[in-house]
Each structure stands twice: as C-alpha cells, then as structure tokens.
C-alpha cells in the first residue's frame, strides 16, 4: 500500500458500512442484501485490511472537522489531572477533571470509554475472523498481531483510567451478550500481557517506507514492559525492556529538540506515534487542534492549559555541564528570558514587557514564523526510547540493581548535557532522580498523572505542588474516573466505581 493511501485510509477511519459503524444490534439485524454483513464480508485480504485500517482510524482520532477525538477524549484526561499543569476554566467538563469534581456525566470520560470499546470491538472482529481468510500467511499474521496490539493498547487505557471494566474478547452473537460484568483488574492485565506477547511474535521490527507508521514489534515490547512496570512486576519489566534495548532498533536522537521536529517523524527514538499531517485526504482533515488548545491567546491559540510553576522549577533545577539551562526547557516551555522567537516574535513582543506567563511549546507549533493559522500536522509521540530507558532503570533499581540502572538514566541525562550520576547513589536517591527525569523529559506527553497513580503518591504531590484540584482529591476515589452514566444505563451488569 502506498504511504499516502495508508494515511488517507487512517484519516477516513475507512469503513462506512453497517459492519463497523452501526453497532452490535444493527450489525446483527442487517437484512439488506446490499449491505456489508458477516456472511458476505471476511472473504478477502482486502476485507482484512479494511478492518485493521478502521482500528487505525480510531487511533488517529478522526472527528470529522479534524483529528480532535484524541485531544478531547484522551489528552485532556491524561494531562489535566497532573500536578505539572494549569488550566483555564472555560470548559466546565475539563475544569471538573482538573478539580477532581467530575461526575459520571463527564463527556470526556464517556468519549474515552466509547472510543476505547469501539476499537476493541473492531479488534475482536479482526482476531476472530481474519484467521479464516485465505490470504498471504505472513500478512495475515501481521494483521492479527496489529489487532492484538490495539486490543491490549485500549484495554491498558481503560484499565489505567477506570480500573473496573468489562473484559470482552469476542464479538457478541446476540443481545444477551451485550451487557457484560466488570472483570478483575488482574484478569485484564493477563489479557493485555497475552495479546502483547502474541503481537511481539507476529509483528515486524520495521516496515518499508510505504507502510511506516504501522505497529511494530518494538511498540508491542514497549507496552508489554510498561504493563509489567505498572503491576510492579520488576523482573519481567526489566527483562522485556532489555530485550527491546538489545535489539538495537532504537536510539536517542542527539538533540532533544529534534525529537519533536516536523522532519523527524518516526525517528529512531519513536516506538509509537500518531501520524497527523498538514493536509486533507479526499476531503478528510488529518490535522489535530492541539496547537490551538495549548497555544497562547497572543498567538491566536485558545490557551486551555499551560505548564505550572512547579514544572518550570523542576526544569531549571539543574544546570548543564556548561552551566546553562537544561536544553529540554526550550523545547517544552515558552518562558521569559529564553531569547527565542515564538511565532516570529520575542517573548516580550508576544506577551508584553514584564510578563511572566508560561505556555507549552512542545506541540503547539511555536517555531513557525507567524501566529497560528491552521491546525497542526505535528505527530504525537506516544512511546519514546527515552521513556523506555527510564522505565528500565526504574525496574532494575526496584530489584536492588542500582548500579546497573544508573547508566540508563545517564543516557537521558547526557543527551540533555547533564553530568553523570555518581555510581555510589543510593536506591532511594536514584528513584528520586528517575522521577525528576520523567517530569522534565516527558512533560506534556501524558505520563505524569499515571506515574503518580502507580507510585501511589497522587495526593501528596498535588498538595505539595499547589495543583488546581489538590484540595478536592479523595483517596480511594479520584485515582480513577467514574464509569460513564451512559454505560450504567445500558449495561445493567456494571457497578459504579467507589465514591461516585
């Protein structure tokens, strides 16, 4: 498949037939012989490709007018509950998320739940039906591997946001199977591990130019290691990350700024990213509104969120070996005194003399020489090699292998022109350093809240860093989102999460 055709299919979400978009009940009641049905689909390799591409369409976040679903239903949930962010309050649903006052009527929670289960439904169809298609065996195995990766990816998303979720791995055959009870989280983790293990066995390490952007073996290994890490299965996590590192498929780019450059998509540092583009394909937009959401109003953005003082302090805490600011701050934050141009202007020209406003830089196209005038084609990096190195170090350190872990942290530090850590550092000291590096290396990438979640330190960090919703956070409740009211109304077998 040509590269432009693959991205075009992503932008369309592809399947417009009742088979994929009408839902289970309509699927099972289709009688029009011209419609696509289970009996006349699943015959050819093209049918298999169509189903897989439909899953990629959800991954892209297509929303009609842009690829906005990833922002409204994913990035908001990922970013707004962290202790490193400030937000405006003109969108009540987002404000309630940041305030930890959200309810089961949250449109963000509902959107996240619905999109994840839609992707899982598509993946279940592929896993169930593609094995029966007479097609090239290698390609069939790849498609099944992609479907299993996505099923694991979306269950990982549901588990870390809602915890108590139905585990559905087959296509419902009748209405009696529509409502499913919540599974034990441990059983969902086991399914994620199984799917990722199968995906690793059947996915290629790399693709040719025409198919670049598809799911790779490295992405599956990365998420398997991450899944073990979230369960504090340290030995399994470090073993998986070591397998990934030893493959020599990935490497840090020399300069942090290059990681997010428009000319470095699918670089050696990227294990998984979402491919947006400054274009349309057959009338379908392929841009994300993220640059407007995060961009300052002075440059035409909506300034919905911004880095807070805690993050700025973390990023300026340690100087480089040349006694300069950590270079990552220039790529991550727009700040006074940086001596850079933003949207073609100095900080003082853009914000005014004496201003102290902070704004995100990493994804909001501030390097362009003019104010915002269109949505962004900048790819979103979901899993990077730097993250893998830090997770690997964390897993090793929690096995009392501190000296073995230090060199992996040093790789991240050295890229930022920071000095090597002492090999005499204690286990506790290295854990603190890993947290510090994760804060500044991965800022605005959607990791911070989930790091605090798995470490069990959300409340104390929210309070210590004067986060917006710190006073409202309730332990045992606000670690997870409420089960959406829409699901509670249609699935009689689910129970609401504690506290809601």
333 phi and psi angles, rounded to 5 deg? -130, 140
* Residues near 379 by beta carbon (within 8 Å), at least 6 away in sequence: 265, 266, 273, 274, 275, 276
Chain segment 157-204, per-residue pLDDT in tens: 999 999 999 999 999 988 888 899 999 999 999 999 999 999 999 999
What is the pLDDT, as a whole number, of residue 280? 78
- Burial (CB count <10 Å: 0-12, 13-18, 19+), residue 43: middle
| DSSP 8-state secondary structure symbol assigned to residue 17 | S
What is the pLDDT, as a whole number, of residue 35? 67
DSSP for 151-212 reads: HHHHHHHHHHHHSS-B---S---SGGGS--PBPPHHHHHHHHHHHHHHHHHHS-S---GGGT
Biggest distance spanned by C-alpha atoms of the chain: 72
CA–CA separation, 191 and 151 (whole Å)? 9
CA–CA separation, 11 and 164 (whole Å)? 31
- E-strand ranges in 335-427 read 341-342, 345-346, 359-360, 380-384
CA–CA separation, 181 and 185 (whole Å)? 12
DSSP for 27-75 reads: HHT---TTS--TTTSS-SHHHHHHHHHHHHHHHHT--SSSS-HHIIIII
User: Mean pLDDT in runs of 10 for the chain (500 residues)?
Assistant: 39 32 34 64 95 95 90 96 96 97 98 98 97 97 98 98 98 89 98 98 96 97 98 98 98 97 94 92 85 97 98 98 98 97 97 97 95 95 98 99 98 98 98 98 98 98 97 98 96 96
CA 175, chain centre distance (Å): 33
Tell me the two tokens of residue 24. Answer: 């289970």
Tell me the two tokens of residue 255. Answer: 């300069």
Tell me the two tokens of residue 53. Answer: 């591409």
Domains parsed from the chain with CATH numbers: 3-287+479-490 (1.25.40.390), 290-374 (no CATH)
- Say what the pTM is: 0.93
Tokens 């369309």 label which residue? 12
């Amino acid at each position: 498949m040509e590269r432009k055709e693959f991205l075009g299919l992503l932008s369309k979400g592809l399947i417009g037939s009742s088979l994929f978009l009408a839902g289970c009940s309509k699927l099972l009641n289709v009688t029009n012989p011209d419609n696509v049905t289970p009996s006349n689909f699943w015959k050819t390799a093209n049918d298999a490709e169509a189903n897989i591409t439909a899953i990629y369409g959800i991954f892209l976040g297509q929303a009609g007018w842009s690829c906005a679903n990833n922002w409204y239903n994913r990035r908001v949930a990922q970013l707004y509950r962290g202790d490193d962010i400030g937000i405006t309050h003109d969108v009540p649903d987002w404000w309630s998320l940041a305030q930890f006052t959200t309810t089961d009527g949250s449109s963000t929670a509902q959107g996240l739940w619905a999109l994840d289960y839609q992707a899982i439904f598509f993946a279940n169809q592929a896993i169930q039906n593609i094995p029966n298609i007479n097609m090239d065996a290698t390609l069939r195995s790849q498609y099944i591997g992609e479907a299993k990766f996505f099923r694991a990816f979306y269950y990982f998303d549901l588990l870390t946001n809602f915890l108590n979720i139905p585990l559905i791995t087959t296509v419902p055959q009748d209405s009696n199977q529509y409502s499913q009870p919540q599974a034990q989280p441990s059983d969902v983790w086991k399914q994620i591990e199984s799917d990722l293990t199968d995906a690793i066995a059947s996915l290629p390490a790399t693709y040719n130019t025409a198919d670049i952007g598809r799911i790779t073996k490295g992405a599956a290994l990365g998420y398997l290691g991450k899944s073990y890490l979230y369960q504090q299965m340290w030995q399994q996590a470090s073993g998986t990350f070591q397998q990934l590192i030893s493959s020599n498929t990935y490497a840090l780019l020399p300069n942090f700024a290059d990681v997010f450059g428009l000319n470095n998509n699918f670089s050696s540092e990227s294990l998984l990213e979402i491919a947006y583009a400054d274009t349309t394909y057959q009338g379908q937009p392929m841009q994300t509104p993220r640059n407007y959401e995060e961009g300052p109003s002075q440059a035409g953005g909506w300034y919905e969120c911004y880095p807070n003082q805690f993050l700025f302090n973390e990023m300026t805490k340690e100087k480089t070996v040349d006694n300069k600011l950590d270079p990552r701050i220039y790529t991550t934050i727009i700040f006074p005194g940086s001596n850079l141009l933003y949207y073609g202007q100095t900080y003082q020209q853009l914000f005014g003399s004496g201003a102290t406003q902070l704004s995100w830089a990493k994804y909001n196209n501030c390097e362009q020489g003019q104010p915002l005038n269109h949505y962004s084609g900048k790819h979103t990096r979901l899993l990077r090699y730097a993250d893998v190195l830090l997770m690997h170090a964390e897993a090793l350190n929690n096995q009392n292998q501190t000296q073995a872990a230090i060199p992996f942290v040093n790789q991240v530090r050295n890229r930022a022109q920071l000095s090597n850590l002492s090999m005499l550092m204690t286990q506790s000291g290295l854990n603190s350093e890993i947290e510090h590096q994760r804060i500044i290396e991965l800022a605005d990438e959607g990791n911070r809240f989930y790091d605090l979640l798995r470490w069990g330190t959300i409340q104390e960090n929210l309070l210590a860093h004067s986060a917006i919703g710190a006073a409202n956070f309730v332990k045992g409740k606000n670690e997870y989102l409420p089960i959406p009211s829409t699901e509670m109304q249609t699935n009689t077998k689910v129970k609401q999460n504690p506290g809601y």
